[in-house]
Amino acid sequence: MITPGSKYFFGLTGLSLIAAILYMVLVNPNDLGAVALFGLATSGALIGVMALFTRDGDVYTDEEAVAANAVAGPPSFWPIVFALGAALVLTGLATVSVVFILGIAVLIGGGVEWTIHNWADGASSDREFNEFARARAISAIEYPGLAAVGLGVIAFFFSRVVLAVSKESGPIIFIAVAAVIFTIGVLIASKPFMKGAVTVVVAVFAVVALAGAGTFAALSGERHELAAAAEEDHYDASHRECGGEESKHYDHLANNTVSLRSAVTATIFVKDGKVYAEAIGMTKKVDTITIPRSNATSVMFRNLDEEQHRLVVNLGSAKVAETGVVEKVGTCSQLTGKNQEQVMTLRIPKPALAGEPYSFTVPGATGEIKLVVP
């Protein structure tokens, strides 16, 4: 007997093969897409054969799925969801990408649910069994999916709250909420015979409180310094130029550069008025830093002195096209206080000309680090 599960996978195999052949004929016979579709067909066939030999891994299928498709199940609303997904995809194509992505998600979700629902509907003449079969097949997808959405919603609302309150209050709120959740969890766990309704009330209250607080926080906006930092646009090119300080909040968005900071090619220090450098992988201090041509490479500047310093990158000179005047080329970090650090990302397209070597210097400190672009 061809079991319902194997039918599904054999169907997938057939469709994939047709799609692969069409793809090869209409698009490109040598393209990876055809390989992927043949792979899908092979996988489907393999799983179909396994499902067939193991009777869908379900010993009850044979006994109870006697009169498949004998009785139609209740009407399904998944085709409507699927259609909604298709509408969103088309709307998204004409408007904004977020709607398109949402449409794809709804389309995939609706399609999977519809397929499983339809498959389960024809599993046997017993509606109860069909519902059981549907639940068993889809639960492995539904529960993690709903959990992911739930976690996303919680993370979104909670992050709005943390962004709205002061920097000092954030960790305290985080600890307090964690403590409350832990306490309620312990209470519920220690009262196994407590009515389920109580747990539901607590959960609903928590969700409403979180959604309310998150919405209120989102409407209130981010805390002052974050808003100010965003307005200053720290990553605008003008803020990286060597000049008067314009930002009071430069490192407040340091979390945005965590990845850069973890992979700098070298760190340049200033200590006791002297400049020195350490490069990743090198055991000794270096006096030369090599940066591949045209490659975005990050360098860290760390000030260990009492007074403020900035790192200057000297990149030779160039003639200004409009005026014909030869000007120095370079860039700087912002002024950095004691034990503070700043990361700079450099992308240098050409090697230095003879007589104008590139270098790192720190005004007010002695020594320089040579910069080589081979």
For 78-102, the DSSP string reads: HHHHHHHHHHHHHHHHHS-HHHHHH
What 3-state DSSP class applies to 344? strand
- The whole-angstrom separation of Cα 160 and Cα 147 is 20
Minimum gap (Å) between residue 292 Cβ and other proteins: 4
State the residue for tokens 């230095």: 352
Minimum gap (Å) between residue 208 Cβ and other proteins: 41
Of 259, 291, 271, nearest to 336 by C-alpha is 271
Of 40 and 52, nearer to other proteins (C-beta) is: 52
Minimum gap (Å) between residue 253 Cβ and other proteins: 18
Of 32 and 219, nearer to other proteins (C-beta) is: 32
Structure-block tokens of residue 115: 């397929």
Q: What angle do CA 128, 132, 136 make, to 5 degrees?
A: 170
Are the C-beta atoms of 130 and 73 separated by less than 8 Å?
Answer: yes
- The whole-angstrom separation of Cα 64 and Cα 125 is 8
Structure-block tokens of residue 270: 């200033």
Cα 295 from chain centroid (whole Å): 24
Of 264 and 365, nearer to other proteins (C-beta) is: 264
Of 107 and 300, nearer to other proteins (C-beta) is: 300
- The whole-angstrom separation of Cα 139 and Cα 174 is 32
Of 116 and 315, nearer to other proteins (C-beta) is: 315
Minimum gap (Å) between residue 362 Cβ and other proteins: 21
Minimum gap (Å) between residue 346 Cβ and other proteins: 11
Quote the longest CA-to-CA distance of the chain.
Answer: 91
Of 204 and 296, nearer to other proteins (C-beta) is: 296
From residue 101, alpha-carbon distances to 86, 98, 159, 298 in Å are 11, 5, 23, 33
Minimum gap (Å) between residue 255 Cβ and other proteins: 17
Which residues lie near other proteins (CB under 8 A)?
Answer: 1, 53-55, 59, 62-63, 259-260, 262-265, 279-283, 288, 290, 292-298, 345, 347, 349-351, 353-354, 372, 374
Structure-block tokens of residue 194: 């407590």
Of 343 and 365, nearer to other proteins (C-beta) is: 343
- The helix-helix angle for 32-53 and 4-26 (nearest 10°) equals 160
Minimum gap (Å) between residue 272 Cβ and other proteins: 26
Which residue type does 67 have? A
Minimum gap (Å) between residue 50 Cβ and other proteins: 8
Of 60 and 182, nearer to other proteins (C-beta) is: 60
Of 54 and 215, nearer to other proteins (C-beta) is: 54
Positive or negative, the CA dihedral 160, 165, 170, 175 is negative
Q: What angle do CA 45, 46, 48 make, to 5 degrees?
A: 60
- The whole-angstrom separation of Cα 175 and Cα 98 is 34
Minimum gap (Å) between residue 354 Cβ and other proteins: 7
